[in-house]
């Protein structure tokens, strides 16, 4: 299909279109002839001719020229036939559109119009509508109506005509003869005329008509004063004063009307705009004519205020406090922060970042690292919110992250052991000692409550009490030296967290004896046992002769050093003699048991142990079991073992061996290689469980024994002349003659075999292991070949 456009006034003989057909053949088979035909439009074939050789279509006018008004579209079929036998053909459809020229005048329906109208016909009424037609199309057929000026200027002051519809309107009343012209829209228009005889009388019967043409779909809120928003035109169809119009707009709006020329105004900005305060204005424009009575009309103009980026993001709070527990997991969302931007669309889209960090972050505050309130209870960050405007605006807020405490710290006493004394019979409430513990947590988690442990010390709970708030230990019951010369009290400090965490300390209280008993004949032991390290003069028992108190006459003193390991008990005979006459005496046997104290260190049988370990021994092999003895008893004799120190500079000792703290078994943690490590040394420490603990050391030398896991390497023979591969000896060499020295990198050669070159004896040469020299066994020259064998 091929489309073409030609003007209806195209000159005869002009080329309309050229089409070429192609044929892939050669010679006569590729020679093409063209022909035209038209279905249903045979008459058009008389207007066109075709060059049968080139395919050019020429316009040929036979009886009349082209006429668009008769045939606006011409459809032809172009056929191309080659010269072959049989011939081959192809076709193409051609659609020719005939373009209009302005060759027809407008034609009024009448040449003379006569009408009558009442004199009170309202001004602006349509008197008559004239109608003219034009046979052309497009602009050539669009008719505009006008009143002829020539000789009728006074008419133009009174009448007006709608140039599109041909409607004639009255301005003033009178009778007139009007000449009307109809023109088409061509560049060289054609016209026609008609006469109109009318008589009109104007009255104020038309309200002003307001027409608003918007220059802008919206006005930016930063528009300057005087910016035109819309054009306002007012048309009053009446004449005279009835057609004179005054316009005004509603009050309290930042806009005004400026007069351009008669009945044309511009609506302009008259004050600052703020979309965030008012995004739309409904402006009422009222037009009032000067007729009597006056007529008016109102039109509402909707003005939309578009956003500009004149607001920065604002956080609802200048300081944002976030509270988060210190044990919150990494990845936890702590808070969703938000800033509000009064702008809209892109200007109001907010992204967030921290100060000194351009990386955009989410509005969600996410924990990235574990928290520790005790190290950093408060974290301060500056959060920046940036909008998407151009240029962007930003706002900031200080983000204060308050790390809330969780109960993750135990109370810690200032001392693990407190020592003090108290007089026996001390009054109730007597202060003994104040223990103090601290907890790094805060709030209830750091508030400490003190108590006495109830386990295995019921007698203590009857005699002492502790202030749960201050840790002050006071006397609660009667303190009797004879019953308890000393107390070991366990004090517990617990915080108020959930769950609570606790710690304990020991308080050792020595009771100071007082003379508070009347004499009586009895012997009272102060303790079931006496510690072997008790000082000379330590009271062991009270001997009462009608007096339970102590004193020079009533105390059994320690008069020498004790050693439980030598004597674990003593039988003491006590004789009491009064001052009577005759004096009476009595005796009492007292068995004193000596209790153990940790006065003996664990002892190894040797100060140096040599341990031999084969190389390539399996991992986990027990290379040695060490044992230390402690002459004490019970816990004081319980020994544990540990590695004290090492002089190994090859590998960390912890990667080589380990020791069982209970059994003393030393276990290898790797398979040793003699070629890499031949020996290493460390110390094993044996520590008892006494208080304070005692310890001793033993030095352990580990010697790696070589295994036959490497092939020896023989170096070149060595003689007095240096290294050689062969050696010549005199034919007359005697047995014992030095031949050469053989060196091996790995082990000493223990067997040597030679291959004789002349004689078949096998023992022509011998090898002594030290100093690895070969000597001639027979007199002859031989090539010495060695084969080493381990």
Residue 684 lies in a domain: yes
Question: Residue 240 corresponds to which tokens in the numbers above?
Answer: 């005279």
Give how many domains the chain has, as a whole number. Answer: 8
Residue 301 lies in a domain: yes
Contact of 105 with 186, CB cutoff 8 Å: no
Rg (CA), the chain: 64
Considering the entire predicted model, what is its pTM? 0.37
CB atoms within 10 A of CB 482: 18
Whether the ω angle into residue 692 lies within 30 degrees of 0, i.e. cis, is: yes
Task: For 135-202, list the strands marked E by DSSP.
Answer: 144-147, 159-161, 167-170, 174-183, 191-200
739: closest CA among 778, 710, 709, 697? 778
731 and 776 housed in the same domain: yes
730 and 747 housed in the same domain: yes
399 and 435 housed in the same domain: no
Using CB atoms within 10 A of its CB, is residue 559 exposed (0-12), middle (13-18) or buried (19+)?
exposed
Q: What pLDDT does 721 receive?
A: 55
CA angle 363, 367, 369 (to 5 degrees): 145
CA angle 259, 265, 267 (to 5 degrees): 110
Q: Which of 150, 169, 200 is the last residue of a domain?
A: 200
CA angle 427, 428, 429 (to 5 degrees): 110
Residue 357 lies in a domain: yes
Burial 112-135 (b: 16+ CB within 10 A, else e): ebeeebeeebbbbbebbebbbebb
Contact of 267 with 282, CB cutoff 8 Å: no
Residue 68 lies in a domain: yes
Rounded Cα distance between 650 and 657, Å, is 13
394 and 423 housed in the same domain: no
- Reduced to 3 states, what is the DSSP secondary structure of residue 610? strand
Q: Which of 306, 329, 361 is the last residue of a domain?
A: 306
352 and 432 housed in the same domain: no
Burial 525-539 (b: 16+ CB within 10 A, else e): bbbebbebbbeeebb
244 and 298 housed in the same domain: yes
- Continuous H helices in 430-524: 458-463
Angstrom distances, CA of residue 732 to CA of 467, 776, 777, 779, 781? 111, 11, 12, 6, 9
Rounded Cα distance between 773 and 731, Å, is 19
- Reduced to 3 states, what is the DSSP secondary structure of residue 27? helix
Residues with Cβ within 8 Å of residue 16, at least 6 apart in sequence: 4, 6, 10, 48, 57, 58, 59, 96
- Reduced to 3 states, what is the DSSP secondary structure of residue 154? helix
Rounded Cα distance between 560 and 558, Å, is 6
472 and 379 housed in the same domain: no
| Beta strand 191-200 pairing with 112-114 | parallel
Q: What pLDDT does 725 receive?
A: 62
Q: What pLDDT does 722 receive?
A: 54
Rounded Cα distance between 137 and 99, Å, is 9
Contact of 23 with 30, CB cutoff 8 Å: yes
499 and 467 housed in the same domain: yes
Q: What pLDDT does 382 receive?
A: 87
Residue 517 lies in a domain: no
H or E element, residue 157:
helix 153-158
Domain CATH for 342: 2.60.40.60
Residue 85 lies in a domain: yes
β-sheet bridge partners, residue 684? 643, 698
Rounded Cα distance between 643 and 654, Å, is 9
Angstrom distances, CA of residue 757 to CA of 728, 774, 783? 13, 17, 6
Rounded Cα distance between 244 and 599, Å, is 129
- Reduced to 3 states, what is the DSSP secondary structure of residue 90? strand
Rounded Cα distance between 88 and 170, Å, is 74
Q: What pLDDT does 531 receive?
A: 77
125 and 86 housed in the same domain: no
Residue 621 lies in a domain: yes
CB atoms within 10 A of CB 582: 6
CA angle 590, 596, 598 (to 5 degrees): 155
Residue 772: which region, alpha, beta or left (left: phi > 0; alpha: psi -120 to 50)? left
Backbone angles phi, psi at 582, to 5 degrees: -70, 155
330 and 399 housed in the same domain: yes
Q: Which of 200, 232, 255 is the last residue of a domain?
A: 200
Residues with Cβ within 8 Å of residue 692, at least 6 apart in sequence: 598
- Reduced to 3 states, what is the DSSP secondary structure of residue 285? strand
Rounded Cα distance between 4 and 505, Å, is 112
Residue the block writes with tokens 């006493």: 413
Question: Residue 129 corresponds to which tokens in the numbers above?
Answer: 């509508």
785 and 760 housed in the same domain: yes
Across the chain, which has 790 residues, the per-10-residue mean pLDDT values are 77 70 84 79 70 61 63 81 88 82 84 74 77 83 76 64 70 67 80 75 82 83 90 87 89 90 89 91 92 91 91 89 90 84 89 72 80 91 88 90 91 94 93 95 92 81 93 94 89 92 94 70 69 78 59 53 71 68 68 82 92 92 93 90 75 87 93 89 92 92 86 61 64 71 52 40 53 44 42
Contact of 732 with 641, CB cutoff 8 Å: no
Q: What pLDDT does 136 receive?
A: 82
Q: What pLDDT does 55 receive?
A: 60
Question: Residue 74 corresponds to which tokens in the numbers above?
Answer: 């011409």
Structural domain range at position 737: 712-790
189 and 117 housed in the same domain: yes
Residue the block writes with tokens 């005692």: 694
Residue 742 lies in a domain: yes
Longest dimension (CA), the chain: 191
Backbone angles phi, psi at 562, to 5 degrees: -110, 150
Contact of 84 with 47, CB cutoff 8 Å: no
CB atoms within 10 A of CB 503: 17
Rounded Cα distance between 59 and 49, Å, is 6
Rounded Cα distance between 200 and 163, Å, is 20
Rounded Cα distance between 191 and 69, Å, is 19
């Amino acid at each position: 299909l091929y489309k073409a456009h030609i003007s209806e006034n195209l000159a005869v003989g002009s080329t309309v279109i050229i089409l070429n057909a192609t044929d892939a053949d050669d010679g006569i088979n590729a020679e093409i002839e063209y022909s035209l035909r038209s279905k249903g439009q045979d008459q058009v074939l008389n207007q066109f001719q075709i060059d049968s050789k080139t395919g050019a279509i020429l316009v040929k006018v036979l009886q009349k020229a082209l006429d668009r008004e008769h045939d606006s579209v011409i459809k032809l079929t172009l056929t191309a036939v080659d010269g072959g036998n049989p011939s081959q053909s192809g076709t193409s459809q051609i659609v020719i559109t005939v373009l209009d020229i302005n060759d027809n005048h407008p034609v009024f329906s009448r040449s003379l119009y006569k009408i009558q109208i009442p004199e009170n016909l309202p001004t602006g009424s349509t008197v008559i509508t004239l109608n003219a037609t034009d046979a052309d199309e497009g602009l050539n057929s669009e008719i505009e109506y006008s009143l002829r000026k020539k000789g009728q200027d006074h008419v133009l002051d009174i009448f007006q005509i709608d140039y599109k519809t041909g409607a004639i309107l009255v301005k003033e009343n009178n009778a007139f003869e009007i000449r009307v012209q109809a023109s088409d829209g061509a560049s060289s228009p054609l016209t026609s005329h008609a006469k109109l005889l009318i008589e009109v009388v104007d009255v104020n019967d038309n309200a002003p008509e307001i027409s608003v043409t918007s220059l802008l779909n919206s006005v930016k809120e930063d528009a300057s004063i005087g910016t035109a928003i819309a054009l306002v035109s007012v048309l009053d169809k009446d004449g005279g004063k009835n057609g004179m119009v005054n316009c005004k707009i509603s009050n309290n709006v930042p806009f005004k009307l400026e007069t351009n020329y008669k009945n044309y105004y511009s609506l302009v900005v008259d004050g600052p705009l703020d979309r965030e305060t008012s995004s739309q204005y409904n402006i009422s424009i009222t037009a009032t004519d000067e007729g009597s009575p006056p007529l008016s009309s109102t039109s509402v103009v909707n003005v939309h205020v578009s956003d500009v980026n004149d607001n920065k993001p604002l956080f609802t709070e200048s300081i944002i406090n976030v509270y988060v527990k210190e044990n919150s997991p990494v990845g936890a969302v702590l808070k969703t922060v938000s800033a509000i931007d009064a702008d809209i669309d892109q200007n109001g889209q907010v992204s967030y970042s921290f100060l000194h960090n351009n990386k955009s972050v989410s509005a969600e505050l996410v924990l990235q690292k574990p928290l520790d309130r005790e190290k950093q209870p408060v974290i301060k960050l500056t959060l920046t919110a940036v909008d998407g405007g151009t240029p962007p605006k930003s706002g900031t807020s200080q983000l204060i992250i308050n790390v809330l405490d969780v109960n993750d710290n135990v109370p810690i006493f200032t001392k693990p052991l407190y020592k003090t004394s108290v007089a026996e019979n001390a009054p109730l409430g007597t202060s003994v000692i104040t223990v103090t513990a601290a907890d790094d947590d805060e709030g209830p988690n750091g508030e400490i409550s003190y108590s006495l442990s109830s386990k295995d010390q019921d007698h203590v709970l009857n005699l002492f009490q502790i202030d749960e708030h201050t840790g002050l230990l006071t006397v609660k019951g009667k303190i009797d030296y004879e019953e308890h010369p000393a107390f070991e009290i366990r004090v517990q400090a617990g915080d108020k967290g959930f769950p609570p965490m606790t710690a304990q300390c020991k308080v050792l209280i020595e009771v100071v004896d007082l003379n508070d008993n009347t004499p009586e004949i009895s012997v009272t032991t102060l303790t079931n046992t006496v510690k072997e390290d008790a000082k000379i003069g330590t009271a062991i028992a009270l001997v009462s002769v009608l007096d339970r108190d102590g004193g020079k006459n009533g105390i059994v003193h320690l008069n020498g050093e004790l050693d439980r390991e030598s004597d674990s008990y003593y039988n003491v005979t006590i004789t009491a003699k009064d001052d009577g006459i005759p004096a009476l005496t009595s005796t009492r046997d007292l068995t004193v048991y000596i209790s153990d104290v940790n006065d003996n260190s664990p002892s190894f049988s040797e100060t140096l142990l040599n341990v031999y370990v084969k190389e390539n021994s399996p991992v986990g092999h027990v290379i040695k079991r060490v044992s230390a003895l402690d002459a004490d008893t019970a816990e004081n004799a319980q020994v544990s073992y540990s590695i004290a120190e090492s002089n190994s500079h090859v590998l960390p000792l912890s990667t080589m061996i380990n020791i069982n703290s209970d059994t003393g078994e030393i276990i290898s943690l790797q398979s040793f290689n003699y070629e890499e490590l031949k020996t290493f040394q460390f110390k094993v420490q044996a520590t008892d469980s006494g208080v304070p603990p005692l310890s001793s050391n033993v030095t352990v030398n580990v010697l790696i024994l070589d295994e036959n896991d490497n092939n020896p390497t023989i170096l070149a023979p060595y003689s007095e002349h240096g290294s050689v591969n062969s050696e010549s000896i005199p034919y007359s060499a005697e047995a014992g003659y030095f031949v050469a020295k053989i060196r091996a990198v790995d082990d000493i050669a223990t067997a040597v075999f030679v291959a004789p070159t002349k004689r078949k004896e096998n023992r022509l040469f011998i090898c002594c292991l030290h100093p690895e020299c070969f000597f001639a066994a027979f007199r002859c020259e031989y090539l010495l070949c060695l084969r080493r064998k381990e």
